[in-house]
């Protein structure tokens, strides 16, 4: 489990959403551990290994993974890392992606983005709110209209627990009068980074520029808290990538993932020898 010293270290060096223990614990039900500067999450003998080190860690990733498997003795492992080094027949490969980053302060705001912000400002009001029935309905509507894995559905249905248990997460909402038009969840849980976690929009009362207006407020908040950059999360698909890129977001870390079934301790040892 994490103590106060561990949490302080994580805060000083976090640069990924998966480096936010309150977030991962809330959506997964796992317990968090710091192992050789790598975060590990354990639930029901399942290990989630975050293969991105915190701080300046010169030790090799395969060795840290093997040591974590030996320490926790999991039955299965979910691994994320810049690349997967395991032998192909030992794991189930998942889609690859990249994390996007937006450096602060913004140098240039694209004219089209600036126009959408001004347009949305004429009709919407921005406020910091608390997750309630309106937000839950919007999330459930998103879930019903998209093909999601069981893991993705779990994340979305556990957002309320994440917000309840995190001191660094903020919910920013846009309303037209009393109606909720859209909301964004951002997290300030790092000394240098803010994190763009979730954005949801009303499908019934679509307001052009609502997401841009919320994004702009997140940027202002991050600057007010002296963050150096915003981790915008993964590219996911072309539409999300276009939104992040129009704001100036660029890929900065590769993302690969794997599910290791069976006996990951033995597999880790084998991988370490290759």
Count other Cβ atoms within 10 Å, centred on residue 104.
18
- Residue 8 counted as domain residue: yes
Rounded distance between C-alpha atoms, residue 232 and residue 17, angstroms: 9
Count the domains in the chain.
2
| pLDDT(266) > 80 | no
For residue range 3-29, what is the model confidence (pLDDT) as tens digits? Answer: 999 999 999 999 999 999 999 999 999
Across the range 151-163, mean pLDDT stands at 94
- Residue 87 counted as domain residue: yes
For residue range 187-213, what is the model confidence (pLDDT) as tens digits? Answer: 999 999 999 999 999 988 889 999 999
Q: Which domain holds residue 185?
A: 105-227
**Cβ atoms of residues 74 and 105 within 8 Å:** no
Residues 56 and 151 in one domain: no
CATH number of the domain that residue 118 is part of: 3.40.630.30
Residues 112 and 218 in one domain: yes
Rounded distance between C-alpha atoms, residue 229 and residue 247, angstroms: 13
Rounded distance between C-alpha atoms, residue 173 and residue 61, angstroms: 40
């Amino acid at each position: 489990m994490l103590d106060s010293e561990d949490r302080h270290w994580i805060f000083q060096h976090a640069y990924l959403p998966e480096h936010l223990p309150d977030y991962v614990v809330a959506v997964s039900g796992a317990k968090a551990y710091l192992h050789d500067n790598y975060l590990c999450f354990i639930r029901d003998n399942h290990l989630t290994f975050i293969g991105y080190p915190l701080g300046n860690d010169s030790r090799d990733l395969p060795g840290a993974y093997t040591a974590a498997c030996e320490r926790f003795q999991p039955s299965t492992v979910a691994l994320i890392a810049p690349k997967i080094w395991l032998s192909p027949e030992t794991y189930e490969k998942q889609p690859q992606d990249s994390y996007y980053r937006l450096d602060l302060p913004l140098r240039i705001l694209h004219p089209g983005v600036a126009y959408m912000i001004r347009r949305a400002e004429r009709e919407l009001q921005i406020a910091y709110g608390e997750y309630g029935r309106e937000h839950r309905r919007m999330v459930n509507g998103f879930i019903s209209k998209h093909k999601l894995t069981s893991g993705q559905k779990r994340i979305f249905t556990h957002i309320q627990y994440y917000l309840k248990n995190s001191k660094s997460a903020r919910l920013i909402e846009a309303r037209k009068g009393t109606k909720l038009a859209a909301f964004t969840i951002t997290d300030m849980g790092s000394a240098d980074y803010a994190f763009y976690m979730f954005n949801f929009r009303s499908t019934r009362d679509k307001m052009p520029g609502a997401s841009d207006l919320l994004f702009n407020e997140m940027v202002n908040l991050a600057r007010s808290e002296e963050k150096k950059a915003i981790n915008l999360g993964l590219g996911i698909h072309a539409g999300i990538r276009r939104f992040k890129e129009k704001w100036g977001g660029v890929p900065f870390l590769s993302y690969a993932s794997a599910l290791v079934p069976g006996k990951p301790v033995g597999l880790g040892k084998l991988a370490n020898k290759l």
